[in-house]
Structure 1
Amino acid sequence: MSQKKDETAAAVVALLELLAGEGPANRFEAPVAEARRQGVTGADLETVEQVKRLALALHARLDRRQQWSAALTTLVDTACDLAAPHAMEDTLKIITRRARLLLGADVSWITLPTTNGRALRLHALDGHVSMLNSGLRLPWDAGLAAAVLAHRAPLWTSDYLTDDGFRHAPEPDQWIKAEGLHAVLAVPLSRGTRPLGTLHVAERSVRHFSADEIALVNMLAEVGGVALERALHMAEAREEVSVLRERVQHAETELASVRRLADAQRTLLDLVLGGCDPHTLAEEFRATLGASVLLCSAHGTVVACAGEIPEDRQGALARAATDARPLATSAPALLEGGTWSVPLFTGSHYLGALYVDAGPSITGDETELLRHAGRAAAVLLFLQEGETAVAEGQFRDELLDDLLTGGPRPREQLERRARRLGVDLDQPHVVVIARPEGGTHAQAVTWASSRARRDNGLKTTHEDNIVLLLPGTDPGAAARTVHEDLASLLGHPVTVSGSGPVADPAAVRHGYREAARCLDAMTALGAVGTSASTREMGFVGLLLSDHVDAERFIEGTIGPVLHYDEQRLTELTRTLDAYFDTGGSPTYAAEQLHVHPNTVARRLERISDLIGADWQKPERALEVQLALRLSRIRRVLKERGEPAGHPAADQEA
């Protein structure tokens, strides 16, 4: 009996030694078998087996604790890894790699919603063997991931393809089948209550996941969710920093560009204000712009050239400079051959054009350089123009004075002087006399000088009046324009008269005399502060004219009636004569014409249609009667064989 007790104690000690030495579980049966072989039976053998069972239970508990401790160590290591800043993709890779190692799984991956939130996309797969995952998009409402996001709790399946506990979709099922996966565990990858995505671990065999495994993956997902959110914030911050860096670089580039442009503008203006000549400025343009430069005046002359521009090309560009005036803009314009044209203005005053052979395409900075160069060139031409303006103004005044006084100067000399000033006296001009009725006379003279130079005309003062010789054929329109502009400038009434047109140096004096008589007539008639021309004053203008033009007066007054009679063989002119002869009575006129009064009434209506309904008013009626009388005299003279419109005939009329 004592020997059996010793064998029992030896078996118990052996079991305890195995437990203390953390021996494998399959070796715990050996001490029990040895006790049986030594003859231990009954209660003693039952004691040994009970000790074995307790030892195995303790061994399993210790093993579980060791596994849990190792898992916690893995989680701590993962948290340490994720504590360092990582890009989003690197963060996802760390999470999936640690999830796979944590459970010893075959495959792990993460699904995240797409940007528009209408699908899920696979990220950071670890352990996969197929290529079907490349760019794989999953439906947002199907698959295990969609179920996890909907319930916000871990879900698992022992065999994915045969499980009907969630909705299936072709895309994830095809990929699961290609990878040979069965058991899949998915937990929400979240930050607090906000789900960011799902973390998956999977096995290529059918199995069940324990509560400890689910808890471990869930804890990893919580740690990963914090890291993922931080990675997202860091990605957003990096993007914002990148945008800010680009803006700063853009701002620095623009600032450097502005400084370069400011330096170039300062250099150009210093040259101009320092009194440089146009050729020096053109050379500076060439050095600054890196291209050949041509500077032309508004009159089509070459002021300066720097670079290799053929003479025929210079001439063509100089002629084109005269056509740039109507543009009224200083914006550079591309011409044929890669030449840029920059019109030069001071206010609305056109000075010329700057041409630069900079090629068909230029940058924004180069465009600004062209603008700065154009401004500098405009300032130079303006300063030069100002230096010659006084002398040129005196020449213009003297030329118009000589034309008005009709001195003994040869016509050729007058025309030559006019051509030097850019005035062609053989072209139609109108004479305008302006008499300010108040205000500063000097201010009116200054305005007149500017107006004459702008319109390429002449100006002078004569007998305390301002006299203008302007290109044009309508003296009335010119007088109205001068009246409106000058009255608006002075703020006082201005009386303006006009005559012409004249197209001969000798005719300027006669035009001035007619305009002067018209001005006196306006004063006598109480029309001070208005504008008129001899042509607009009807028969009064006829009387004021140096050369009586009865033909024009008749044509302007009753010409439509005369033409109507000639073309249709009617008697409207006879009806007018009878109407005025009978004191304006249609009835008596009908008796004189031997027609019915209604016929006279219809003829008078036709006359109103032809020359205006106001022809019966006293002022118009007087002009119509005078025109009828002159027309009758002209007809008599023609019957005598004298040419119509002969000066002697006009004087007799």
Structure 2
Amino acid sequence: MLTILELLAAEAPPAELEDLVRRARTAGLDDVAVSQLERAERLAVEVHTLFSRRRQREAELSALVDTARDLTLPYDLDALLKTITRRTRMLLGLDMSYITFRDAASGDSYVHTAEGHASALTVGYRVPYSSGIGDEAIGKSVPVWTPDYLSDERVRHTDVLDEVVRAEGLRAIIAAPLTFGEDAFGVLYAAGRNVRHFTVGEVSLMSSLGDMAAVAIEKTRTLERTHADVANLQSDSTQAESRLSELRRREDLHTRLVDHALAGNGLNSLVAEVATELRAAVLVLDAEHRPLSRYGTLPSLDEAEVLRACHAASKGQVPVAVTTGTWVVPVVAGSEELAVLLLHPGEPLDDTDVPLLSVAAQSLAVLLQVRRGEEAAASPFRDELFEDLLAAPRRPAKQFIQRAQRLNIDLERPHVVVVIRPEGGAQGRAASWAASYARRMDGFRSIQNGCIALLLPASDSSAAARGVSAELTPLLGQPVTVGAAGPVSSPDLVRQAHQEALRCLDALVSLDSVGAYASPADLGFLGVLLSDNRDAASFIAATIGPILDYDAQRMTELTRTLDAYFAAGGSPTHAAESLHVHPNTVSRRLERITELLGGDWLKPERALEVQVALRLQRTHDLLRRQRSGGPAAHADSPEQRSGLASFSDDSA
């Protein structure tokens, strides 16, 4: 027994203890002594195993301390994860180690770092989050292991994960959750290519590695976020200083240019100052794109491209560059565009120079507003006269005529009223254009309830509406609805024409024709309803006059046939029955009607006008017979059905 203690103290291998007991048996000792020696041997082996386990634990703890020390060093995230996987593989003596993170967007996991992989488990490889032993480890918050992954029926297998495990040749796998607080953001794996049952110490070691790795990862992430925040703050500080410098430069330029505009200098002088300050060639156009002033020579410009740039600049209220390097800048006062500034710099502008273009445009807007105020003060009576014509129709016409004569305007010549309603919030630009257009056309302008009214010397209201729409719509780049009425040759009729033009505009809106233009003459039978002057006889003559004339000249029944055809719902057969004629007769009459009215008389819009004209003609015949004491029945003779010459406003 003393020898056994000596061997144990000398940390002799268990084989020497077994050899000692074997020699004792052969020495002839009695059974009691041999039994005691065997028991002493077993106790010695247990002590030896206990010492070995403690030494192994000490080695593991030492390695764990070294690992913890390594993880406290400053790393970026990728380097840290590589250190963790390398240490894990070495401490457990396995073939590979890898870390997966959970993708919150897709719900899957992906391999972020791998150590010792052969080919399949590469960085970025995605696996279902709810499969394998990783999800179970997170759910239980403890390490989970399997001695042989593919043959272990306790594991939730998926084809995707089984295929990659098979490709790597992995058997034993252990997984520890990476958890910080309540956030389980990943899993640390270690795997071997042989079957292996993990000991309690190895499972405990894996748990400690997972805890330390999670803390180190979160620390590194926090440091990276902090560094990013510091970098952003430094960048923001630099940008703020640069921005302050830009604002000071812009303020200085704004002060100089506005002072120049208010000093009583002309537009040409201010344009020259802008060109000098910005080292550029400058051209200023009015709201209708006519040149007002220029300084220097601009390169050749594509008119269509400039027009598109003007629309874009006006819509966004920002400078817009064209392909030649020329900048288009709206000159705006409030919501009204006064002009357009075209500026071609000697050198390309950077982001800090572009806002200076708006400063130059503001100084031009100040000068143009001053000029407008001077013009308005010099001649305030034209628009006031138009507004009085609309607001005070009971004043003697002679007063208005005399006031107009003092302004060199003849109100007794034909005038038309045009009412404009711009869409999309472009009232300011439209009002500015209308003032300029009225001056060019020797007319008047007024703004009533959000609509712009023009009184223009003309004899064709349809042509006037078309001209206004054609010029204003491209300028605004927005739909413009235009109604017109007239002509009128007396101040007493201006207000009436204005009401008709408004009704035309409302009719276009009601007919879902926003952006169109029309006068009562353009609206067909609607014009009869909207107009205060237009007689129904003109509408009937324009719509079915050829048929009425044909019946009157040839004693035919085309009008009656047409009426019966519509009454029968467009059925020639039913119309023939009501007329007591053969269906072929109705067909031939309809062919003659097509020759007289044109091939489109059956289209819905035209057919409606034809039916209204027939109804008006029938009403006219009825009223005429009532006045003459005749029978109040449908006219039977062509002469009774014609009678256009006697259809007056009174008879209607």
TM-score calculated relative to the size of structure 2: 0.54
With over 3 angstroms needed to count, the CA separation of the structure-2 counterparts of 1:128 and 1:52, relative to structure 1, is same
CA contact (8 A) 1:339 1:360 kept: no
The alpha-carbon distance between structure 1 residues 168 and 470, as it changes in their structure 2 partners (threshold 3 A), is farther
Correspondence 1:159 to 2:99? no
User: Residues 206-232 of structure 1: CA distance to partner in whole angstroms, max 9, x if unpaired?
Assistant: 332222222222233233334445555
Given that 2:67 and 2:87 are in contact with CA atoms closer than 8 Å, whether structure 1 keeps it comes out as: yes
Distance change in 2, residues 1:466/1:205 (3 Å): same
Query: Retained in 1: the 8 A contact 2:552–2:638?
Result: no
In structure 1, the partner of 2:52 is 63
Work out whether 1:469 is the aligned partner of 2:409.
yes
Instruction: Give yes or no for contact 1:183–1:207 (8 Å, CA) kept in 2.
Output: yes
The CA distance in 1 between the partners of 2:404 and 2:268, in whole Å, is 43
Mapping of residues 59-208 of structure 1, within 5 Å: 59-83=48-72, 86-116=75-105, 118-130=107-119, 132-149=121-138, 152-191=141-180, 195-208=184-197
Matched AA of 1:185 = I
Aligned partner of 2:97: which letter? S
1:371 paired to 2:358: yes
Q: Deviations over 1:138-192 (max 9, x none)?
A: 2334333344445554433333333333243344334434444332223333346
Deviations 1:499-546 (A, max 9, x none): 999xxxxxxxxxxxxxxx978xx8xxxx9x97899xxxxxxxxxxxxx
Identify if the C-alpha distance between structure 1 residues 187 and 282 changes in structure 2 by more than 3 Å, giving closer, same or farther.
same
CA distance in 1, matches of 2:195, 2:447: 104
Match of 2:343 in 1: 356
After superposition, the CA RMSD in angstroms is: 5.9
Q: Distance in 1 between matches of 2:448 and 2:197?
A: 104
Structure 2 gap ranges (5+): 393-399, 420-437, 450-454, 460-488, 499-532, 554-622
Mapped to 1, the partners of 2:403 and 2:37 lie a distance apart of 150
Residue identity opposite 1:354 in structure 2: L
5 Å matches for 1:205-224? 205-224=194-213
How far did 1:603 drift?
Answer: 8.0
Report the Cα distance in structure 1 between the residues aligned to 2:344 and 2:404, rounded to whole angstroms. Answer: 52
Q: Deviations over 1:48-103 (max 9, x none)?
A: 55444433322221221122223233334434444556554444334333332332
1:19 partnered with 2:8 = yes
Question: Aligned residue for 2:576?
Answer: none
Deviation, structure 1 residue 356: 1.6
1:291 equivalent in alignment to 2:291: no
Match of 2:367 among 372, 375, 380: 380
Structure 1 counterpart of 2:359, one-letter code: H
Give 2:205's aligned amino acid: L
Distance 1:87 1:41 in 2: 70
- For 2:360, give the aligned amino acid: A
Note closer, same or farther for the CA distance 1:287–1:78 as it changes in structure 2 (3 Å cut).
Answer: farther
Q: Relative to structure 1, is the Cα distance of residues 287 and 31 closer, same or farther in structure 2, using a 3 angstrom cutoff?
A: farther
For 1:128 and 1:562, the matched residues in 2 are separated by: 95
Q: C-alpha distance in 1, partners of 2:495/2:369?
A: 35
Report the secondary structure of 2:178's partner residue: strand
Identity across aligned pairs (percent)? Answer: 28
Alignment partners' CA distance in 2, 1:130 and 1:294: 68
Question: In structure 2, how many angstroms separate the alpha carbons of the residues matched to 1:589 and 1:36?
Answer: 159
| 1:244 Cα offset (Å) | 7.3
Deviation string for 1:435-474 (max 9, x for gaps)?
A: 9999xxxxxxxxxxxxxxxxxxxxx997899645289964
Q: Secondary structure at the match of 1:75?
A: helix
Q: Any stretches of 5+ residues in structure 1 without a counterpart?
A: 1-10, 401-430, 439-459, 489-496, 502-516, 534-554, 572-583, 592-596, 617-653
Change beyond 3 A, Cα 1:71–1:471: farther
Are positions 1:306 and 2:311 aligned together?
Answer: no
User: Aligned to 2:170, what secondary structure does the other structure show?
Assistant: coil
* 1:378–1:224 distance in 2 versus 1, CA, 3 Å: closer
Secondary structure at the residue paired with 1:354? strand
Q: 1:268 corresponds to which residue?
A: 257
Residue identity opposite 2:367 in structure 1: L
The alpha-carbon deviation at position 250 of structure 1 amounts to 6.8
Kindly indicate whether residue 70 of structure 2 is the aligned counterpart of residue 54 of structure 1. Answer: no
Amino acid at match of 2:198: F
Give a deviation string over 1:597-646, Cα, whole Å, max 9, x none: 998995897457x543x368xxxxxxxxxxxxxxxxxxxxxxxxxxxxxx
Aligned mates of 2:167, 2:233 — CA distance in 1:
45
Q: For residues 139 and 109 of structure 2, what CA distance do their matches in structure 1 show?
A: 13
User: Any conservation in 1 of the 2:283–2:341 contact (CA below 8 Å)?
Assistant: yes
Indicate if the aligned counterparts of 1:149 and 1:198 stay in contact, CA closer than 8 A: yes
**What does residue range 408-423 of structure 1 map to in structure 2 within 5 Å?**
none
Mapping 1:599-638, distance limit 5 Å: 602=640, 606-607=644-645, 610-612=647-649, 614=650
**In structure 1, how many angstroms separate the alpha carbons of the residues matched to 2:62 and 2:365?**
81
Assess, with a 3 A threshold, how the Cα gap between structure 1 residues 384 and 225 changes in structure 2: closer, same or farther: closer
> Is residue 214 of structure 2 the alignment partner of residue 225 of structure 1?
yes
The 3-state SS of whatever aligns with 2:60 is helix
Query: Following TM superposition, by how much is the alpha carbon of 1:46 offset from its aligned partner in structure 2, in angstroms?
Result: 5.6
Amino acid at match of 1:70: A
| Structure 1 residue identity aligned to 2:366 | V
Describe the superposition over 1:292-326 as per-residue Cα deviations: whole angstroms up to 9, x where unpaired.
2123567998665433348xx79x99xx99xx99x
Deviation track 1:527-569 (CA, whole Å, cap 9, x = no partner) reads 9x97899xxxxxxxxxxxxxxxxxxxxx999996999999889
Structure 1 residues 117 and 351, CA gap change in structure 2 (3 angstroms): closer
Structure 2 distance, partners of 1:292, 1:341, is 12
Write the distance in 1 (CA, Å) between the matches of 2:119 and 2:390: 100
Instruction: Give the distance between the partners of 2:293 and 2:201, measured in 1 at CA.
Output: 93
> Is contact 1:92–1:110 with CA below 8 Å preserved after alignment?
yes
Name the CA shift for 1:222/1:384 in 2 (closer, same or farther; >3 Å).
Answer: closer
Checking the alignment, whether the CA contact within 8 Å between 2:102 and 2:108 is kept in structure 1 is yes
Identify if the C-alpha distance between structure 1 residues 138 and 298 changes in structure 2 by more than 3 Å, giving closer, same or farther.
closer
Greater shift in the superposed pair: 15-24 or 560-569: 560-569
Name the CA shift for 1:297/1:118 in 2 (closer, same or farther; >3 Å). closer
Amino acid at match of 2:165: I
User: Which amino acid letter does the alignment assign opposite residue 101 of structure 1?
Assistant: M
- The alpha carbon displacement at 1:373 in A equals 1.6
